[in-house]
Structure 1
């Protein structure tokens, strides 16, 4: 966490990766308004569709869409809020400071990253310029609802046993409503798709907490929630 500022400065200078061009036909179908669930038969199709998505306006100022990443049949799915600056540049979820903190927490919890599908509720980076930096802005309800179509497609294809929602935006997307994280975390909840779901703090929340004791408590709770989620999924 102490190294987050230096990593942020490195990210500002980073060059973007080229967006995916895996399925040009998907872009054509989407442009003609005929892109439907029947076209999403695998995760590659979902990833290609996200690159050409026009369901809300967030694509206009993003470098590229950021689809989920992980095994096609992972037993645990972790849903974050939205891509950050580095995720937008690389096209990969959870690779910035919050992602590195999540990696550390997953390792402590015994939840192997390569066996977990990680994604976000919203697939494009919402931000506002502040000098040379691009500062995170919280997606609104309409943007979350528009992007839920892609999250639902990932859920339908991966079919995880357990979903862990990190942060308020992820909770809104997974459950369709707001839930108080502090009061709800640690309680497995049933979803309509048959999955069990848990909620926890987003790692980026910890990076913003000024009080060290509060930061450590939130991190310990995240580790505990990851450990519980992995145990339920195994």
Structure 2
């Protein structure tokens, strides 16, 4: 079971977004509020891929609108990139969570490999629709969804790599870094933020060529 049967034969983002709202390619749709599809211009030269929507994204129906998204916005500004000019999405389109023991808070739970693979056709459809020059992979789930489960962000972080031609029919430049949520959790947040910005600066430099 995966998302492939739900994907229309189109490169039009509005049609893809509409179809994704009815996806039943895995069971995550049962508990999430809604599908959170990507957002940004079809002409974007850069696509940023995270893991999955969080609590605030699930409620709003838009990617990167919570604390991690605000940190990403700040980092993009620091390297001269405009959020409105990049495409933001996630490897998994539904919020996976466990309820907190007390209260109504929902606690993020990492998607399984099966859930990541089930949702992969949506990410490939977005890549084919946007055709970015560069893909920035934010965290292990995003990187492994396109480069395989053996890919290690800790080893390849901050390096320009290539998504193979076999993934979407043409090779695409990519750069892997951490997810902005990990910066928020870091013991030394300032250092973690500076390292994250350094990675994004490499991406900005590549895009300016």
- What TM-score do you get using the length of structure 1 for normalisation? 0.81
Question: Structure 1: which 5+ residue stretches go unaligned?
Answer: 1-29
State the alpha-carbon separation in 2 of the partners of residues 216 and 178 from structure 1.
30
Partner of 1:149: 121
Identify which range, 215-224 or 101-110, moves more after superposition: 215-224
Report whether the alignment pairs 1:105 with 2:108: no
Q: Deviations over 1:134-186 (max 9, x none)?
A: 00000000000010100000000000010000011111112133422222112
Q: Deviations over 1:109-148 (max 9, x none)?
A: 1111111000000000000000210000000000000101
Alignment coverage as a number of residue pairs: 199
Question: Structure 2: which 5+ residue stretches go unaligned?
Answer: none
Is the CA contact (8 Å cut-off) linking 1:168 and 1:178 kept in structure 2?
A: no
- The root-mean-square deviation of aligned C-alpha atoms, in Å, is 1.6
Q: Deviations over 1:42-85 (max 9, x none)?
A: 11111111111111000000000001001102100000000000
Alignment of 1:186-197 (within 5 A): 186-191=158-163, 192=165, 193-197=170-174
Partner of 2:41: 71
Q: Deviations over 1:94-119 (max 9, x none)?
A: 00000001001111111111110000
In the TM superposition, residue 206 of structure 1 has moved relative to its aligned partner by: 1.5
State the alpha-carbon separation in 2 of the partners of residues 112 and 141 from structure 1.
32
Alignment of 1:1-234 (within 5 A): 35-38=6-9, 40-130=10-100, 131=102, 132-191=104-163, 192=165, 193-209=170-186, 211-212=187-188, 215-234=189-208
